[in-house]
Amino acid sequence: SLSVNEALEKQLEKGPAVLCGSAGMGKTTALLHSLISKSRSYSPLQVATIYVSLFDYNGSGENFIKNRILEDLKFDKSIQYMEDARNSLIKIFNETVKTERSEKVRFLLLIDGLNEAGGDTQPLIKEILSLSEMKGVCVIITSRNRPEKLPFDFLEIVPLDEKDIRSILSSNSLIYPESPEMQEILRTPLLLSAFCKAATSKEKQLQCSTAGELL
């Protein structure tokens, strides 16, 4: 198995992918971590990372992602209409980085939360498929379930194992819980984080044995 960052790096050469995992497995955190780490420096030969959340998509049409990207950009006087801006973005997204040995994508487009998109998602799927076909873009999209309408590679965030959990608890001076239910619960990164924060706030070892007690 690979870390998410390692998997995303390898995926740049392979093409679009869906990153799956149940609630609390850290899909959004992984994308934001990748965005921050890749945005610390930039050169024309490096991949530029773009993050778009689908949290407030609600049947918003097939330009939602492009419009969100354009919100953060500024334009010269030659671009006066939104359609012109979209056409310029599409042109850039079809350009690759050419080196002596290879031709690489210029952009890593991280699209977060397909399962959170509301309303009619057909236009959204159409836009995602269109973006994935552009030569200069590698699309990574997160979802709780594997979407049948996106014929992309499949990556899955697996639950933490006991070694990982013990290591994180030890770094917080905490003891691995005796309850089998809690041991299973802590395999989810979000709940493991909640466990550590709760113990830190109380400044003592937690004795909870169920998710309800933890919450």
pLDDT at 118: 94
How far is it, in rounded angstroms, from Cα 100 to Cα 53?
Answer: 35
Q: Interhelix angle for 4-11 vs 27-38, to 10°?
A: 70
pLDDT at 2: 73
Question: Taking a C-beta distance cutoff of 8 angstroms, is the pair 31, 139 a contact?
Answer: no
β-pairing, 107-112 vs 48-53, is parallel
Question: Taking a C-beta distance cutoff of 8 angstroms, is the pair 62, 123 a contact?
Answer: yes
Q: Which residue numbers in the chain have pLDDT < 50?
A: none
pLDDT digits (tens, 9 = 90+) for 90-146: 999 999 988 777 889 999 999 999 999 999 999 999 999 999 999 999 999 999 988
pLDDT at 77: 87
Indicate the SS3 state at residue 130.
Answer: helix
Question: Taking a C-beta distance cutoff of 8 angstroms, is the pair 157, 1 a contact?
Answer: no
How far is it, in rounded angstroms, from Cα 163 to Cα 177?
Answer: 13
How far is it, in rounded angstroms, from Cα 194 to Cα 212?
Answer: 12
Residue with tokens 């997160």: 142
pLDDT at 1: 65
Give long-range contacts, CB 8 A cutoff, 24+ apart: 201-208: 205/174, 205/175, 206/174, 206/177, 208/177, 208/179, 208/182
Q: What is the pTM of this model?
A: 0.85
